[in-house]
Structure 1
Amino acid sequence: MFNSVSHVSMAHVKAVDGDIGPIEDLLFDDRDWVIRYLVVDAGSWLAERDVLISPYSIKQPLGHDRVIDVALTRRLIHSSPPLDIERTVSRQQELAFERHYHYPAYWDGGGLWALGARPFPSVAPRPLADREAASVYPADMQLRSAEQVCGYELQAAGRGIGQVQDFVFDDESWQIRYLVVDTQSWWPRGRKVLIALPWVDRIDWARQEIHVSLTREQVKCSPVYQDVASIHRDYEILLHANYQRAGYWA
């Protein structure tokens, strides 16, 4: 099932014994484009402090009532490693985070989430010494802020086709499937369209540009995007056929 970053960003996180706080941002890795953490403002009870919440802790199904339940206690969250939201989350901070919650390293094992495609540990985490010896954080991967990437310009053959407005993700794997792009900057009668992540050729993070091998005519002929509730398999088939691309489900 699909969900959107904008929808989740309006939610509050709730522990088993009380409220944690509102979601401020979501962090995804720029290799697999999987949402790895929710950044939650716990300042109402943790003295102006932000905390990270991993999808490993989030109960399924993902709530649609602006409340996200996690299988954690406020005490455990209270003692979690500190986070400086003004800086990029470092590898050392992630390792400290995993030690605290006894999570497997999501990059260790070959799947999207350690040994699986979903953020549910299929086996008990290895002893800490074994994990630290075997786990190698990918050198080509960095965490990115969904809030900061919103507004990035999409470029097709040197021509702008719109700005990133939102992200659509699979709420079981937490992998981002589509960028929601607002095309009104060049198309006066434009609308929102979906661009799948596999269609992205490269990203210029410094210039805040995402480059794709698409044309404006293809964008104009794209099926209308309304909201995540309107995305179903028949819609996706039409979307991929318009761009002459194979579906990820094939």
Structure 2
Amino acid sequence: MLRSSKLRSAELTRDGQSVGEVLDVLFDDRNSQVRYLAVDIGTWREGHKILVPPAALAPAGRDDGMLVDTPRLETTLDQAQLEQCPSTAVDRPVSRQHEIELYERMGWQPYWLGIPMAAPGPVWTPAAPAPAVPETVRDDLHHEADPHLRSTNEIEGYYIHATDGDIGHVEDLLIDPARWIVSHFVIDTKNWWPGTKVVVPTSKIAAIDWAERTLAVEVDRAWIKSQPVFDETWRGA
């Protein structure tokens, strides 16, 4: 398991050599799927930030569900390919145009047309030749911002609304590196239940209010208090 807070500042490497530093993890708020890592490649291109999808990464983390304290991420993209990745500002939504450019350049299958992406593997290889994006779709999506692409940096700190009242805030997000899905939230309940952090699966989320910075869950406070306490020995399912 990977922690979003630990992924920030994690090193991205190729053949054991550093090519950049992770700044943020971007996920789809409809299905918790990690779509991109925002990476600063300023070590060799000053001030340049790019989007790197999980399809371009070797497997990360442990397969026993244990937490990884210092993740190291390996990409098979070379410098030229990394430079072709669209640049992005990490403080604003990512436009669909960025995604079109990236997927066309790299030959990946465009998931937004309903075609599943290749599952992460030991090396980056497209599962099949990527179908062309129809011109009508390309025109419609060209400048469309994706409202469902969200930042883990953004959601940390959101307040938790249980069915019977408030009970803490989002402290961290846990990511399953085998599927690149945000699988759990770590909730700090110190204002209601001193000194305790618990782990709640994303399946219990009822709604996220991005304007109010709140996350509603479909369970009550007693249920949340009954969940596993989060510490460095926590093991995922």
TM-score by length of 2: 0.83
2:2 is aligned with what amino acid? Answer: N
Alignment check: 8 A CA contact 1:10 1:66 kept: no
Alignment check: 8 A CA contact 2:35 2:54 kept: yes
State the match for 2:32 in structure 1: 33
State the match for 1:217 in structure 2: 222
Q: 1:230 aligns with which of 211, 231, 234?
A: 234
1:197 is aligned with what amino acid? Answer: T
Distance 1:225 1:17 in 2: 32
1:163-174 equivalences in 2 (<5 Å): 163-174=169-180
Q: CA deviation at 1:157?
A: 3.0
1:6 is aligned with what amino acid? Answer: S
Structure 1 outlier segments of 4+, above 6 Å: 136-140
Determine what percentage of the aligned residue pairs are the same residue: 28
Which consecutive residues of structure 1, in runs of 5 or more, have no partner in the other structure?
234-250
Change (3 A) 1:100 1:213: same
Superposed CA deviations along residues 124-150 of structure 1, whole A, max 9, x for unmatched, are 322x2559859x979996100100100
Distance 2:145 2:175 in 1: 24
Larger displacement relative to structure 2 (54-63 or 34-43): 54-63
Which consecutive residues of structure 2, in runs of 5 or more, have no partner in the other structure?
63-67
Distance 1:139 1:47 in 2: 26
* 1:76 aligned onto 2:74: no
Between 1 and 2, higher relative CO (CA 8 Å, sep ≥ 6) is seen in 2
Q: 1:206 aligns with which of 190, 202, 211?
A: 211
* 1:99 aligned onto 2:98: no
TM-score by length of 1: 0.79
Superposed CA deviations along residues 58-88 of structure 1, whole A, max 9, x for unmatched, are 0124485532110110121123333233321
Q: 2:187 aligns with which of 170, 181, 185?
A: 181
Distance 2:134 2:16 in 1: 33
Change (3 A) 1:37 1:139: closer
State the match for 1:191 in structure 2: 196
1:213 is aligned with what amino acid? Answer: E
2:157 is aligned with what amino acid? Answer: G
Alignment check: 8 A CA contact 2:209 2:215 kept: yes
* 1:67 aligned onto 2:72: yes
2:222 is aligned with what amino acid? Answer: E
1:185 is aligned with what amino acid? Answer: N
State the match for 2:65 in structure 1: none
Alignment check: 8 A CA contact 2:58 2:120 kept: no
What count of residue pairs does the alignment treat as equivalent?
A: 225
RMSD: 2.8
Change (3 A) 1:87 1:221: closer
Q: CA deviation at 1:105?
A: 1.4
Q: CA deviation at 1:8?
A: 2.0
* 1:156 aligned onto 2:162: yes
Superposed CA deviations along residues 192-250 of structure 1, whole A, max 9, x for unmatched, are 111111111111111011111222222222222213x52244xxxxxxxxxxxxxxxxx
Distance 2:45 2:145 in 1: 33
Distance 2:79 2:146 in 1: 34
